[in-house]
Amino acid sequence: MSGYVMGIDNGSQSTKVAIYDFGGNEVAFGSFQLRETLSPEPGVVIHPDDDLWNSVYGAIKNCLANFMGNPKEIVGIGLCTIRCCRVLLKEDGHLAYPVISWMDSRLNKPYEHFDDQVKYVTSTSGYLGFRLTGEFKDTAANYEVHWPLDRETLDWSRDEEVFKACGLTREMVFDLVKPGEKLGNLRPELADEFGFNHDIPVIATANDKAVEALGSGMKDEGTIMISLGTFISAMLLRNEYKENACNFFPTLACIPFKYVYESNGIRRGMWTVSWFKKLIGEELVIEAKKLGVSEEEYLNRKAQNVPVGSEGLITILDWLSTPTEPYRKGLMIGFDQRHTKFHIYRSILEAIAFNIKNNIDDMLAEINASINNIVVIGGGSKSDVMMQIIADLFGLPVHRRAGNSSACLGAVICVCQYLKIYKDFDEAIDKMVKTEKTFLPIQKNHELYNQVNDTVVKNVRKYTDEILKLTFPIFN
């Protein structure tokens, strides 16, 4: 079979769409920014209007505008979306309420039915799949907490009490398919608008982190994937589910009946970089424009000139506190006259690395495992300075994959599975996933980072938590 495949990666800050040939070579890319989420009251975080669909539609259009081939040669679409959201739909499949973000505190408990116009309760992949196909189907691998899923069958539980405990009935949820199976054909009106054939299928994937893991090329137990996005976490591929895990979350993989173990994460991880960019403001825009580079690239170039360890400026990441520790806030300690805004930026990158390293170590200790390779994906992986920080801290080779989105590539691997381009997921990974660059650790930096981590980073909250507990009632 000849042709191209399209992958959709609907994330928390933007939707990315890429078109690939069957060798995994990216031939076109487009993206579309999401609007800022809204928080009309404490604990509530929603996406405005129909922003998720608008971003998917806009990203597809932008990608096709960069595609030099014939859209009719695109033979399948893989759909990957933000996980851990809740979408409430009317009987006609359209929104009864704005999409509820994964950051919303209401998602810490089962669904409660208050609005009679809500006919369906689904995920982002269910909703966006409906907008693309008109079918009430969704991937089983995007349902985890507070959903009545049977992991043994990757279908809904047949126990009414399980549904009841989740605040749902069978009539309120979509039918399920597995990753690599068909959600439906693209709506004819969309196929006409995009220039596709009418029989083009839309294929199910999994939760976005699991799709990233697939697209990053994870195949063996000694490799770990770090995803540097709005939510930063790390994943290991395993064959068994682990009950009662303490330092990680076992989640459904994008390969049916396999699992990824996901470390504790950093909420608002790379968002912290966006926050800092806004803090600098117009000066950053002007200076980057003078050099003809992006704002991130300008900051990264400046950060490379800052000594390892940011000359004693240490950041502790807590830009979004958890319900169990609401008093925790972000910290920067160790300021003196040497420090500039670029020290602050590098210190934020180092803080991200320290945090994910310690989370990974906790996960590995719990399952008595070790790693020998690291793959880093997501927007943060485009930063050479960030990649070198991670290599130095871990003391391991760190690989950056080619392409703009591992989740887009993971989505098209699912399409290739459906189309039987390759015999299985493993062969598709071998043929389609490519490494752009590998970063090797520098021993003296490794030693310094581990000294800072062991003496300061791992111990600082024992002292700062007590102070923050006192300030919390004053300012909240």
Per residue in 408-418, pLDDT tens? Answer: 999 999 999 99
Query: Is 472 among the domain residues?
Result: no
Phi, psi (degrees; rounded to nearest 5) at 448: -65, -50
**Is the pLDDT confidence value at 268 over 80?**
no
What is the DSSP-derived secondary structure letter of residue 159? -
- Give the pLDDT confidence score for residue 1 in this predicted structure: 67
- Give the pLDDT confidence score for residue 277 in this predicted structure: 87
Domain extent at residue 169: 4-210
Mean pLDDT for the stretch of residues 15-37: 96
Number of domains present in the structure of the chain: 1
- CATH number of 200's domain: 3.30.420.40
The pLDDT tens digits of the residues spanning 141-152 come to: 999 889 999 999
- Give the pLDDT confidence score for residue 46 in this predicted structure: 97
- Give the pLDDT confidence score for residue 83 in this predicted structure: 92
The pLDDT tens digits of the residues spanning 375-413 come to: 998 888 989 999 999 999 999 999 999 988 999 999 999
Q: pLDDT-derived band of residue 56, with 50, 70 and 90 as boundaries?
A: very high
Give the integer Cα–Cα distance in Å for 185 and 160: 31
Label the pairing between strands 4-10 and 14-21. Answer: antiparallel
The pLDDT tens digits of the residues spanning 312-367 come to: 999 998 887 878 889 999 899 999 999 999 999 999 999 999 999 999 999 999 99
Label the pairing between strands 26-33 and 14-21. Answer: antiparallel
Consecutive H or E run containing 298: helix 295-304
- Give the pLDDT confidence score for residue 242 in this predicted structure: 92
Query: Is 445 among the domain residues?
Result: no
Query: Is 238 among the domain residues?
Result: no
Mean pLDDT for the stretch of residues 187-206: 97
- Give the pLDDT confidence score for residue 258 in this predicted structure: 95
Query: Is 65 among the domain residues?
Result: yes
- Give the pLDDT confidence score for residue 470 in this predicted structure: 93
Cβ atoms 321, 311 nearer than 8 A: no
Query: Is 335 among the domain residues?
Result: no
- Give the pLDDT confidence score for residue 229 in this predicted structure: 81
Query: Is 323 among the domain residues?
Result: no
- Give the pLDDT confidence score for residue 452 in this predicted structure: 97
Angle of helix 341-367 versus helix 271-280 axis, rounded to 10: 170
Query: Is 155 among the domain residues?
Result: yes
For residue 337, how many other CB atoms are within 10 A of its CB? Answer: 4
Tell me, what amino acid is at 168? L
Query: Is 303 among the domain residues?
Result: no
Which three-class secondary structure state does DSSP give residue 259? strand
